[in-house]
């Protein structure tokens, strides 16, 4: 039977640490007591959508834990502005707003009462009247996709989605109760959220940090909470590989998780020289977080792979007609598991819908399976026709980035029979691509245009934002 709540604090001794923020330590027993008190404050008259500002703060983390434990649904939001709040309120009509920006941004005309001061979680605003349809009983959280080729979509996740994926990640990466995960990523996206849920569910602790892992402030905070695990996206990996001081910090960690986009074998190889255990993972928000994991012991033998399915998951490669393809054949990655979302949401009314996916997900990613290991080769929607020839834009980028020694690139098709390749940095990089390398990029002769740009636009999760590529380019 589907769970109607989620308690992430059941494992571990009551005196064991759960949340650390600066010098403050909240034990698992204290966190549970606070969650119970906060749940009573939120009320149990009906299931509510609770929008929580900055879940990487102690008040925000406690509010999330309390809402999930009480059977409510959570809408986590980070880096919020008053305009962000108003968009969320108009679109999803949350019942309760938690956080100072949330409380201040919405006026009484929006149907909310005046701000209250809630114990442990701070400023709160409640809706004065019923917002509409009841929420689906299994709805636990509304997450936002990274939106590299669009503006991002809202994903409906269940309590079972969160619980199953947290357990799978804990098993796949060997989380110990003595571990401390530093929140190196936003928790309103799936990768950062999975670090939070998987460590708490395994009885480990979470160090609440908001600085970026490319900053000295983050690493000072990681040392202060005794972090043993950090999650990184590939763009941050590239930055750290150019920073000797940051590489020294990696050696103190027990585990390093890399996900959120493609990382080259060379980058991962260099990273493994400095970190004890590097887990390379593949996932999507639509699958709660992680779908596969490359174990460090298998990394050298299977370079270029994203590993095997996490426990409880299953991967197949299927053709355009939906038929299963044999090992070695390229097709769309099809995933099945208890962590697959309930479905998407566009409005409050969609939050009342039941599960429409049936635990199955067509990922939109191209890949092949060899010896049980999954290898990705870009996106289905990133295949284009140029002079009648099929071109994989992701493969063009991967080849160019490899030639340039890790310099970021972005390939787009602004017009028929043309591909623009943008290179981050100065014109000297273009000279390295010209000549014999052009033929290896897979674009028909005469159809490739090379451009430089000071900085490629990225989403909040570090992925290239293709809809904005080209705005700052120079020929």
Q: Is the pLDDT of residue 118 over 60?
A: yes
Task: Work out the burial of residue 308: count CB atoms within 10 Å of its CB; fewer than 13 is exposed, 13-18 middle, 19 or more buried.
Answer: buried
Average pLDDT value for residue range 4-24:
95
Average pLDDT value for residue range 62-88:
90
Average pLDDT value for residue range 280-288:
96
Q: Note the pLDDT tens digit of each residue in 436-449.
A: 667 678 888 788 88
Average pLDDT value for residue range 435-464:
81
Average pLDDT value for residue range 270-293:
95
Average pLDDT value for residue range 64-92:
90
- As a whole number of angstroms, the distance between CA 148 and CA 150 comes to 6
24 touches 18 (CB < 8 A): no
- As a whole number of angstroms, the distance between CA 342 and CA 217 comes to 38
Task: Work out the burial of residue 383: count CB atoms within 10 Å of its CB; fewer than 13 is exposed, 13-18 middle, 19 or more buried.
Answer: middle
Helix (H, G, I), strand (E, B) or coil at 99: coil
pLDDT confidence band for 472 (50 / 70 / 90): very low
pLDDT confidence band for 1 (50 / 70 / 90): very low
Residue 150: the pLDDT is: 47
Q: Note the pLDDT tens digit of each residue in 223-257.
A: 999 999 999 998 899 889 988 888 888 988 999 99
Q: Note the pLDDT tens digit of each residue in 409-421.
A: 999 988 878 899 9
DSSP code per residue over 316-350: EEE-TTSPBPPTT--EEEEEESTTS-SEEESSGGG
Residue 131: the pLDDT is: 61
pLDDT confidence band for 434 (50 / 70 / 90): confident
Q: Of the given ranges (102-106, 239-243, 257-261, 332-336), which has the lowest mean pLDDT?
A: 102-106
Q: What percentage of the chain exceeds 70 in pLDDT?
A: 94
Average pLDDT value for residue range 35-52:
92
- As a whole number of angstroms, the distance between CA 207 and CA 222 comes to 7
* Average pLDDT over all residues of the chain: 90
Average pLDDT value for residue range 208-236:
94
Average pLDDT value for residue range 6-10:
96
Half-sphere exposure in the Cβ direction for 309 (13 Å, CA): 17
pLDDT confidence band for 461 (50 / 70 / 90): low
Average pLDDT value for residue range 134-152:
79
pLDDT confidence band for 399 (50 / 70 / 90): confident
H runs (alpha helix) in 180-305: 190-201, 216-224, 234-241, 244-250, 265-272, 296-299
Residue 370, beta-bridge partner list: 373
Residue 151: the pLDDT is: 52
Q: Note the pLDDT tens digit of each residue in 360-390.
A: 999 989 999 999 999 998 888 887 878 777 7
Q: Of the given ranges (15-24, 76-85, 176-185, 314-323), which has the lowest mean pLDDT?
A: 76-85
Question: CB atoms < 10 A from the CB of 149, how many?
Answer: 17
SS3 content of the chain, % helix, strand, coil (to 5): 30, 30, 40
- Token code pair at residue 69: 């434990």
């Amino acid at each position: 039977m589907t769970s109607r709540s989620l308690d992430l604090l059941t494992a571990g001794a009551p005196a064991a640490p759960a949340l650390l923020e600066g010098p403050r330590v909240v034990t698992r027993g204290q966190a549970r007591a606070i969650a119970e008190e906060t749940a009573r404050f939120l009320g149990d008259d009906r299931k509510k959508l609770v929008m929580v500002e900055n879940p990487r703060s102690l008040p925000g983390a406690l509010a999330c834990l309390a809402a999930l434990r009480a059977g409510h649904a959570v809408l986590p939001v980070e880096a919020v502005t008053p305009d962000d709040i108003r968009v969320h309120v108009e679109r999803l009509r949350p019942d309760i707003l938690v956080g100072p920006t949330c409380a201040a941004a919405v006026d009484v005309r929006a149907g909310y009462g005046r701000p209250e001061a809630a114990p442990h979680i701070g400023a709160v605003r409640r809706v004065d009247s019923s917002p509409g349809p009841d929420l689906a009983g299994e709805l636990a959280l509304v997450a936002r996709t990274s939106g590299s080729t669009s503006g991002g979509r809202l994903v409906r996740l269940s309590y079972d989605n969160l619980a199953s994926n947290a357990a799978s990640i804990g098993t796949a990466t060997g989380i110990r109760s003595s571990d401390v995960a530093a929140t190196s990523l936003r928790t309103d996206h799936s990768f950062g959220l999975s670090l939070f849920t998987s460590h708490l569910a395994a009885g480990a602790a979470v160090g609440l940090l908001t600085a970026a892992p490319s900053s000295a402030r983050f690493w000072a905070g990681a040392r202060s909470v005794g972090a043993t695990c950090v999650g990184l996206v590939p763009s941050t990996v590239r930055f750290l590989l150019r920073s000797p001081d940051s590489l020294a910090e990696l050696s103190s960690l027990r585990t390093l998780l890399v996900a959120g986009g493609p990382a080259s074998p060379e980058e991962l190889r260099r990273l493994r020289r400095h970190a004890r255990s590097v887990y390379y993972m593949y996932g999507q928000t639509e699958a709660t977080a992680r779908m596969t994991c490359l174990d460090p012991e298998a990394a050298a033998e299977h370079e270029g792979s994203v590993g095997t399915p996490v426990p409880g998951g299953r991967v197949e490669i299927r053709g355009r007609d939906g038929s299963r393809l044999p090992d070695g054949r390229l097709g769309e990655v099809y995933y099945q598991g208890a962590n697959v979302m309930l479905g998407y949401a566009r409005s409050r009314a969609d939050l009342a819908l039941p599960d429409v996916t049936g635990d199955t997900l067509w990922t939109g990613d191209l890949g092949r399976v060899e010896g049980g290991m999954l290898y990705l080769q870009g996106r289905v929607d990133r295949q284009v026709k140029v002079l009648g020839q099929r071109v994989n834009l992701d493969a063009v980028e991967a080849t160019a980035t490899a030639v340039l020694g890790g310099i970021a690139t972005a390939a787009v098709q602004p017009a028929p029979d043309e591909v623009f390749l943008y290179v981050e940095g100065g014109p000297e990089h273009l000279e390295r691509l010209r000549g014999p390398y052009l033929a290896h990029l897979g674009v028909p002769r005469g159809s490739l245009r090379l451009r430089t740009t000071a900085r490629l636009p990225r989403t909040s999760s570090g992925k290239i934002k293709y809809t904005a590529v080209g705005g700052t380019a120079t020929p």
